[in-house]
Chains A and B, each alone.
Chain A
Amino acid sequence: MALEDYRYYMETCRRCSVCKFMPLEKVIGYDRINVCPSISRYEFHSYCAGGRMVMGTALLEKRLDYTDKLLEVVYNCNMCGACDTSCKYSMDTEIIESINEIRNHCVDTGHTNPTLDKVISNLRKLGSMVPGAPAKRGEWADGLGLKDCTKEKVDVVFHVGCQTSFNKNMWHLVQTTAKLLQNAGVNFGIAGENETCCGGRAYQMGYRDDLLAQAKKNMGMIKKCGAKTLITGCADGYQAFKVIYDQYALKGDLEVLHVTEYLDRLIKENKLTPAKPVDMVVTYHDPCHLGRMGETYIHWEGREVIDEIRTLDPPKEYRRGTYGVYEPPRDILMSIPGLKIVEMDRIKEYAWCCGSGGGVSESNPEFSMWTAAERIDEAEITGASAIVTACPWCIKNFKEAVSRKGSHLEVYDIIELLDRAI
């Protein structure tokens, strides 16, 4: 797809401002109705999806140049997809795809963000989205005796992801996951030093070719090891393998599960039993790329029929955020004795972003932290003692925001709490 292919959507924006707010049916008060971090932080209409649609049309019409300001607006978006869900409550449009295509267009025409270029350069050299990491990718698994899926046949590939692999503070998450999988008797393996980035975050930044290159490497490895299932604890990785690879017809019939889906399944099959009480009140943060952005890609091939009105033949089913992964993480938490969940105002398909996506945490850490701090405020109001989530990028951002704010909140991955209960 090229930017031109999104012209219809961009030209038919109603400028109704719905993309700025949570779906209106769910508004229950004055506070926290905003869903778009970008316009909430920068205020000008340009920063919301509606503004970005106009910008896309203007780029096509060559009414705007690729100025520093344009690139500043383009890259100050977390690519969280909340606008897409809110718009699609009413309309048949492709909002986040259009926004992503604007970024692709910028990269294709050589108009990039220098910081993101460095990140991508590192990806190309080292296969990682965490530049300058002191650890080696597979080091976290030293001494665990896990199978190497690049050498042995396994049923399940456990893709760890860049953030967890290279951040020693997160190693316990994957080590715990591996232990839980072992205990449940799952025949799984890791790629260790041979694991490479999923490419999902590169895609969010507009580097489509790099996503495709990473996808080909990953799927080649998976094909070789014969696994039918891939699990990952990273929401970005999950969305990349499950949705984006599928969008580009690279996924094949690989089953992609987030670790919360897999563990929830094991709990429901009585292969794991959370028995020890964990007396805590927690609130759950839906990672964008596990929730609304994580629903299955729906292929559509057909023709656009422009008559008096525009219809599609055959009709297209739109991804509206309806079928994201919302319940498995909550089901796991609810299966833990003594643990109570209190919900934040913005949850599930209209959850507020943690701030780390879209390259923002690399290119504009201040904005990334501003976004995370907003979520920490929201979590604090619930009265919970901890915010729990299911993505290492969210964890990293929240921990930093909590530290900067001096918040009392603890930050956990679901895995940590499940481990305490088993």
Chain B
Amino acid sequence: MALNRNFYKALENILGPEYVSDDPVITETYANPFRQGLAAPPTFEAITLPDSTEQVQAIVKLCNQNKVQFKASSTGWLYSDPATPNCIKIDLRRMNRILEINEKSMYAVVEPYVIAAQLQAECMKRGLNCNITGAGSNCSALPLAAHVNLGHLSQSGSYGERNQLALEWVTGDGEIVRLGSLGMLDEWFCGDGPGPSLRGVIRGDTTPLGGLGVYTKAAQKLFHWAGPYTFPMEGVSPKYKPAYIPENFLVRYLSFKDLDDMIEAVLKIGESEIATELMCFNPAMMASNLATKNVEEEIEIYNRFTKSVQGPGFMVLIMGNSRGDFEFKKKVLARITEETGGKPLEEVEDPENQGGYIWRYFRETGSIKETGRVLAPQAGMVGGTDSFPLMSYFIKSCARVKEQLIKEGALFDDGTSPFMQSTEHGHLAHGEVLARASLRLKGDKLLEMQRGINKGSNEISIKGHFGMPQHVWGDELHDMYGPHASNYHLWLRKIKKTFDPNGASESSTYISAKDE
């Protein structure tokens, strides 16, 4: 459906003709490239490139006036960026400024297209660090832009909705709302006041993923960084190696006889607050992070690692604030390892490997390998936010669905345990069943498999009272979970209707304002 010419002309007037296009060559390239026998996806009607909140607001208002939908995104991983008919894209690429790094109050303010690597690098120069979404430091540094914003640093650096301070928001109907301290003082230090606090509203269950207007600027909490201003990596891509491991850093991989032992170790590490990062990576993820040559090398390392682990495990990264602090944390880790029967994966401790792991885990550069290469997922169930043991059992239960699909030949058998992560020192957790669709599955059969793994996992979640997973996107899933969770979906719809009365903000990955 072609856009009305007057509408398009109005977009040009807002942005200048250089920054809007409805040419098929431009719109096509914003579509999901993935095929494997699937039909080509629909494309956006036009792509816009605003460079200010005012331009975003003008686009949004124009869309409301003309009954056209919009979908905003920043760096844009493909899976959360569906195009629908009569919808334009707001590509926030030109909104890429770091507006403030406040060292004293430990917060940073960014626009959506600042990537996490940029913010982290600037923070490190100031003795600070920021949480980074697990998808990698190539993604937006804006806390609510990147799904839940859970990442490797979430053990000590929490995640998006918790780190969120003041925020600027263009609502679905084009109002600019400044939340928290920004609403009253023109300051970014607080998300809850003295101005309006709508943190729960804008967050929703698992962030609206562009379904409730556009977040144009946001402040986030920063954390202490005890490392060097820049990490001493040398060599040429992808064979980067540390010149030396900076003092008071270590990374270990520990495996356990069973899930209960691993949970005990995670909780103890959490209680003692010794870990900066704790990710229950399976051997495949550890292998993908180390391999630089090709997938066959990755498989080789994976096979080696698999032989060396005794069961489920995790990567733990320690950063000491001083020699004494580091030695203390090391001793605590050793004690916990002994008490829980943890077995170290020695190859990780090799100085060259260790230095590489440390930096890759801080910068989160391995995520694409972990999720893109062969042993990693193309589909999966994303577990919720609850206590670490409960989430572990949830993901373990979901893994049965995966096992069945492996037996049916629908999934690649990576032989690995599910992926879990501890958040806020074990207070919360998140997990995923990693599933790699077999390349032999094409088209409808692929979709059937994906639906199967989701359906099976959702049934387990509901029947087992595991709470709300973090993949609940779209009406169908909200309608499924709502009745089991205080009918929250009805309230979510009211929020959608209130702040986006015309349904202009495309919300297929959030919730629609449809009447019940």
Q: Is A125 an interface residue (CB 8 A)?
A: no
Contact stretch, chosen from A64-72, A223-231, A233-241, A267-275: A64-72
Is A24 within 8 A of B297, CB to CB? Answer: no
A210 to B328, CA, bound (A): 67
Known contacts being A27-B117, A91-B373, A315-B297, is A18 close to B238, with CB within 8 Å? no
Chain B residues within 8 Å of A349, by CB: 236-237
Contact stretch, chosen from B19-27, B167-175, B388-396: B19-27
Q: Is B287 an interface residue (CB 8 A)?
A: no
Chain A residues within 8 Å of B371, by CB: 14
B93 touches which of A43, A58, A64, A317 (Cβ 8 Å): A43
Is A69 within 8 A of B439, CB to CB? Answer: no
Chain A residues within 8 Å of B30, by CB: 45-46, 51, 54
What is the CB-to-nearest-CB distance from A88 to chain B, in angstroms, rounded to a whole number? 7
Q: Of residues 126 to 158 in B, which have CB atoms within 8 Å of A's CB atoms?
A: 135-139
Q: Of residues 290 to 314 in A, which have CB atoms within 8 Å of B's CB atoms?
A: 306-312
Quick one: which of B19, B29, B125, B371 has the most chain A CB within 10 A?
B29
Is B77 within 8 A of A309, CB to CB? Answer: no
Q: Is B416 an interface residue (CB 8 A)?
A: no
Known contacts being A44-B49, A67-B25, A91-B368, is A13 close to B33, with CB within 8 Å? yes
Quick one: which of A11, A45, A70, A86 has the most chain B CB within 10 A?
A45
Contact stretch, chosen from A161-169, A252-260, A320-328: A320-328
Q: Is B91 an interface residue (CB 8 A)?
A: yes
Is B365 within 8 A of A16, CB to CB? Answer: no
In the complex formed, the residue of B with least CB distance to A90 is B368
A52 to B25, CA, bound (A): 10
Is B236 within 8 A of A322, CB to CB? Answer: yes
A52 to B29, CA, bound (A): 7
Chain A residues within 8 Å of B372, by CB: 14, 16, 90-91
Q: Is A17 an interface residue (CB 8 A)?
A: yes
Is A25 within 8 A of B363, CB to CB? Answer: yes
Is B440 within 8 A of A322, CB to CB? Answer: no
Chain B residues within 8 Å of A16, by CB: 75, 77, 135-136, 138, 368, 372
Chain A residues within 8 Å of B233, by CB: 25-26
Contact stretch, chosen from B34-42, B184-192, B261-269, B452-460: B34-42
A321 touches which of B23, B36, B93, B236 (Cβ 8 Å): B236
Known contacts being A16-B77, A326-B236, is A46 close to B29, with CB within 8 Å? yes
Known contacts being A29-B122, A43-B94, A309-B412, is A18 close to B368, with CB within 8 Å? yes
Q: Is B293 an interface residue (CB 8 A)?
A: yes
A12 touches which of B34, B75, B364 (Cβ 8 Å): B34
Number of A residues whose C-beta is below 8 Å from B?
Answer: 66
B26 touches which of A13, A28, A33, A69 (Cβ 8 Å): A69
Known contacts being A24-B137, A91-B368, A320-B237, is A15 close to B32, with CB within 8 Å? yes
Q: What is the 8 Å Cβ interface bit string for chain A, positions 38-78, against chain B (1 contact, 0 not)?
A: 00000111100011111101100101110101100100000
A29 to B101, CA, bound (A): 13
Is B33 within 8 A of A10, CB to CB? Answer: yes
Is A11 within 8 A of B237, CB to CB? Answer: no
In the complex formed, the residue of B with least CB distance to A61 is B40
Q: Is A23 an interface residue (CB 8 A)?
A: yes
Q: Is A21 an interface residue (CB 8 A)?
A: yes
Is B373 within 8 A of A90, CB to CB? Answer: yes
Q: Is B336 an interface residue (CB 8 A)?
A: no
In the complex formed, the residue of A with least CB distance to B289 is A90
Number of A-B contacts (CB under 8 A): 214
A365 to B368, CA, bound (A): 36
A26 to B23, CA, bound (A): 35
Known contacts being A10-B33, A11-B33, A310-B439, is A21 close to B117, with CB within 8 Å? yes
Known contacts being A16-B77, A16-B138, A55-B29, is A308 close to B412, with CB within 8 Å? yes
Q: Is B360 an interface residue (CB 8 A)?
A: yes
Is B237 within 8 A of A14, CB to CB? Answer: no
What is the CB-to-nearest-CB distance from B341 to chain A, in angstroms, rounded to a whole number? 33
Is B138 within 8 A of A25, CB to CB? Answer: no
Quick one: which of B30, B91, B440 has the most chain A CB within 10 A?
B30
What is the CB-to-nearest-CB distance from A129 to chain B, in angstroms, rounded to a whole number? 28
Q: Is B121 an interface residue (CB 8 A)?
A: yes
Is A57 within 8 A of B47, CB to CB? Answer: no
Chain A residues within 8 Å of B115, by CB: 17, 21, 33
In the complex formed, the residue of B with least CB distance to A11 is B35
What is the CB-to-nearest-CB distance from A76 to chain B, in angstroms, rounded to a whole number? 12
What is the CB-to-nearest-CB distance from B101 to chain A, in angstroms, rounded to a whole number? 10
In the complex formed, the residue of B with least CB distance to A60 is B35
Is A308 within 8 A of B439, CB to CB? Answer: yes
In the complex formed, the residue of B with least CB distance to A316 is B294
Is B240 within 8 A of A29, CB to CB? Answer: no
A27 touches which of B25, B118, B439 (Cβ 8 Å): B118
Is B237 within 8 A of A321, CB to CB? Answer: yes
Is B28 within 8 A of A58, CB to CB? Answer: yes
Q: Is B359 an interface residue (CB 8 A)?
A: yes
Known contacts being A29-B118, A322-B239, is A317 close to B91, with CB within 8 Å? no
Q: Is A262 an interface residue (CB 8 A)?
A: no
Q: Is B295 an interface residue (CB 8 A)?
A: yes
Is B40 within 8 A of A58, CB to CB? Answer: yes
A25 to B363, CA, bound (A): 7
Q: Is A370 an interface residue (CB 8 A)?
A: no
Q: Is B98 an interface residue (CB 8 A)?
A: yes
Chain B residues within 8 Å of A11, by CB: 33-36
What is the CB-to-nearest-CB distance from A217 to chain B, in angstroms, rounded to a whole number? 34
What is the CB-to-nearest-CB distance from A39 to chain B, in angstroms, rounded to a whole number? 8
Known contacts being A308-B412, A316-B294, is A70 close to B25, with CB within 8 Å? yes
Chain B residues within 8 Å of A25, by CB: 231, 233, 237, 240, 359-360, 363, 365
Q: Is A318 an interface residue (CB 8 A)?
A: yes
In the complex formed, the residue of A with least CB distance to B124 is A28
Chain A residues within 8 Å of B117, by CB: 21, 24, 27, 33
Q: Is A350 an interface residue (CB 8 A)?
A: yes
Q: Of residues 340 to 393 in B, which have CB atoms within 8 Å of A's CB atoms?
A: 359-360, 363-366, 368-369, 371-375
Is B26 within 8 A of A44, CB to CB? Answer: yes
Chain A residues within 8 Å of B36, by CB: 11
Q: Is B78 an interface residue (CB 8 A)?
A: yes
Q: What is the 8 Å Cβ interface bit string for chain A, positions 385-413, against chain B (1 contact, 0 not)?
A: 00000000000000000000000000000
Is B373 within 8 A of A92, CB to CB? Answer: yes
Quick one: which of A13, A44, A69 has the most chain B CB within 10 A?
A44
A43 to B136, CA, bound (A): 22
Q: What is the 8 Å Cβ interface bit string for chain A, positions 317-353, against chain B (1 contact, 0 not)?
A: 1101111101000000000000000000000111000
A153 to B75, CA, bound (A): 57
A51 to B135, CA, bound (A): 20
Q: Of residues 410 to 467 in B, which have CB atoms within 8 Å of A's CB atoms?
A: 411-413, 436, 438-440
In the complex formed, the residue of A with least CB distance to B366 is A90
Chain A residues within 8 Å of B438, by CB: 307-309
Is A14 within 8 A of B28, CB to CB? Answer: no
Is B136 within 8 A of A322, CB to CB? Answer: no
Q: Is B31 an interface residue (CB 8 A)?
A: yes
Known contacts being A12-B34, A306-B439, A322-B236, is A24 close to B138, with CB within 8 Å? yes
22 A-B contacts (beta carbon < 8 Å) = A11-B35, A14-B371, A15-B81, A17-B76, A21-B117, A23-B237, A24-B117, A24-B136, A25-B233, A27-B121, A44-B91, A67-B25, A69-B26, A89-B238, A90-B238, A307-B439, A308-B409, A311-B296, A311-B299, A312-B294, A320-B292, A350-B237
Q: Which 9 A-B pairs have the closest CB atoms?
A: A315-B296, A51-B29, A15-B78, A308-B412, A90-B368, A46-B29, A27-B117, A308-B438, A24-B365
Given contacts A10-B33, A23-B237, A57-B33, 19 further A-B contacts (CB under 8 A): A14-B371, A16-B77, A16-B368, A17-B75, A24-B117, A29-B122, A30-B98, A44-B47, A58-B29, A63-B40, A67-B25, A88-B237, A308-B413, A309-B295, A310-B295, A312-B296, A315-B297, A349-B237, A350-B237
